[in-house]
Chains A and B, each alone.
Chain A
Amino acid sequence: MDKERLKKLNEFANQLRLDMLNMALRSGSNGAHLGGSLSSAEILTVLFNSILKHDPKNPSWASRDRFILSKGHVSMAYYAALCRAGYFSEEELMSFNSDGSQLLTHSLVNQEKGIEISSGSLGWGLSIGIGCALSAKKKNESWRTYVLLGDGECNEGSVWEAFMAAARMKLNNLIAIIDCNGMQLDGVNAVMPPDKHCAMLDACGWEAVVVDGHDVTHLEEILAAKPEHKPYAVIAKTIKGKGVSFMENNADWHHGRITAEQFETAVKEVKCDA
């Protein structure tokens, strides 16, 4: 990847982080899921800039790739990516969690805004993704389905029903990305490490690979690969709260309220990083 492109992608990721912080501030006492949203910034950046076939001017384009957000609580990162990709305005983005807004903590299906499914209940997105991928096969269409899961979410048994089923069906048009930030709401107690996810998915019959989830160059290279005969799992090692020192690896920021002071500090750090 050339330097200019690298710079552009990292700037995009940082813009998503600034957007998330702004949205969290506006969300006020409702709080916001900053930890897992910040860990997903580079994954969404690479998907929306380099990987997904999509057209913000034609969000219902039949041949678009489908992106299913399974870890629905990180909708802030998703909305920011959709906004910066051109699906809706910054003003609308900043309506996040306000009464009457279409952009709530957990996304509502809205094809015009590029949102494929309603989300919020963990553990369902991968099987819905199978339904999409299978539909593409039935229709002989070449679009692909990308599902973003969390490692905490992978505690859910339904995720493993879907992992096993997708491998049996040899859905080579299905890509699961696991944002492995190592923490869930209550901390680290039940989260499986990335290498174990990799071994289990390999055993299930997926092509599984571990990647640094904050390295856009590596992410782009890995996400662009197209295994011929198997579904593809990209296990992204990330840092919960990435980019804001006091949020990093701190489960208190899985969902938290940001004060004006904390906001100022966080914005400075993210801008400095850029």
Chain B
Amino acid sequence: MLEFSRQNMMAWSRQSSRHMFGEAMLEAAEYDEKLMVITADVASSANLRTFAERYPEKFLNVGLSEQCMLGVAAGMAKEGFHVFISSFAPFVSMRIFEGLRSYLGYMHLNVTVVGLGSGFALGTNGNTHYGLEDMAITRTIPGMVVLSPSDNTEVIKSLFAALAYEGPVYLRLTGVTGSQMVYKENYDFDIGKSIKLSEGSDVCIFATGSMVYECTRAVRALSKNGISAGVTNIHTIKPLDTGAMNEARSAKLIVTVEEHSVIGGLGSAVSEYLAERDDMPKLLRIGIPDIFPTAGTYRYTLDQCGLSAASIADRIKQELN
């Protein structure tokens, strides 16, 4: 079993989230005899080459055919396998969305869909490869769990939670090699249960994926300006932890932060809950505005969309003034 020691967590933080996917699958293969890992011509990008060599009977590369991958996964899940399928986020969310809905959702099959390199992680590959809408569309599927881990330790925890879950899961992997750690020691991860990382009396920030770390830094910047802000890690977009929203009732401002379009993702999910209540603070949604950003390196696109810690802190300050 992978040991969640500080040393291991430090080592994992030096990898990309998609590298961790391949690592975690090696572990999963050791104790889940029904595991099946299918990919569509991205075995190397998903760090699955070692898995393919070590467990050829549990691995299938269908070539560049995401629809075929989805159908084969549905067929194998129907026959009792625990299937993980993977490709870059736009291709496993948008390109095969109808299959996710009609086969994984409608038939409630045991398949985890891993969206690799989501958000801006694929940098100069540009908007065709960005995953800016995957949470929005996957959370419309009844019965589908949508996970968005904040760092590589949480990637592993999410993968194992998905493996144990009976039903379809979309697992969104954000961040790039060298993304910072959120967690430095072991902790409990449960689907649908958010994790409060810090308390703040003025501002309650709900962040997901890569933005959790940025928000922990934004909180420090706000503190220097006399603003008390706290961060909660919303690693599960669906089912949404509405209990955490209720706890934010006394704050002056609720903020959602995501490396995802402001349309349909975490901000929308939270606003849908708040809209039906009259005792909640104002909501500020920070994410990618309704544009195709000018493509570039990871940090360049984050900065352009105001998703650096400093920009997040500035937006919150403006909103409070």
Contact = CB atoms under 8 A, between A and B. Distances in A.
B273 interface: no
Given A131-B71, A158-B71, A162-B71, A120 B63 contact: no
B102 interface: yes
Contacts of A253: none
A131 B102 contact: no
B107 A130 contact: no
Interface stretch (B76-84, B144-152, B199-207, B212-220): B76-84
Interface residues of B, number: 27
B102 A130 contact: no
A269 interface: no
Nearest to A116: B78
Given A121-B102, A138-B57, A165-B68, A127 B75 contact: yes
A135 B75 contact: yes
A134 interface: yes
Contacts, number: 91
A116 B75 CA distance: 10
Interface in A99-135: 109, 116-118, 120-121, 123-135
Contacts of B76: 131-132, 134-135
B102 A165 contact: no
Nearest to A123: B67
Give the most central of B60, B72, B76: most A CB within 10 Å: B72
B74 A131 contact: yes
Contacts of B106: 118
Give the most central of B57, B70, B77, B78: most A CB within 10 Å: B78
B65 A128 contact: no
A147 to B, nearest CB: 10
Nearest to A68: B75
A90 interface: no
B103 A118 contact: yes
A121 B100 CA distance: 12
Nearest to B103: A124
Contacts of A187: none
Q: How large is the interface on A (under 10, 10 to 19, 20 to 34, 35 or more residues)?
A: 20 to 34
B209 interface: no
A133 B65 CA distance: 18
A130 B68 contact: yes
Contacts of B262: none
B68 A162 contact: yes
Looking at chain A's contact residues, the main secondary structure is helix
Contacts of B78: 116-117, 128, 131-132
Contacts of A138: 36, 57, 81
Given A134-B76, A161-B67, A128 B62 contact: no
A164 interface: yes
Contacts of B65: 161-162, 164-165
Contacts of A123: 67
Contacts of A162: 65, 67-68, 71
Interface string B254-277: 000000000000000000000000
B102 A128 contact: no
B67 A127 contact: yes
Interface string A157-193: 1100110110010000000000000000000000000
B75 A132 contact: yes
B73 interface: yes
B98 interface: yes
Nearest to B77: A131
Contacts of B103: 117-118, 124, 128
A125 B103 CA distance: 10
A123 B75 CA distance: 14
A75 to B, nearest CB: 15
A215 B98 CA distance: 37
Contacts of A129: 75
Given A118-B103, A124-B99, A138-B57, A165 B62 contact: yes
B102 A120 contact: yes
Given A127-B75, A128-B78, A138-B57, A109 B107 contact: yes
A3 B65 CA distance: 47
Interface of A: 109, 116-118, 120-121, 123-136, 138-139, 157-158, 161-162, 164-165, 168
For the complex of A and B, list the 10 residue pairs with the smallest distance between their C-beta atoms, beginning with the closest: A131-B75, A127-B71, A135-B79, A161-B65, A158-B67, A161-B68, A128-B75, A131-B72, A131-B76, A132-B75
21 contacts: A116-B78, A117-B78, A117-B107, A118-B102, A118-B103, A118-B106, A121-B98, A121-B102, A124-B99, A129-B75, A130-B68, A131-B74, A131-B77, A131-B79, A134-B72, A135-B81, A138-B81, A139-B79, A158-B71, A164-B63, A165-B62
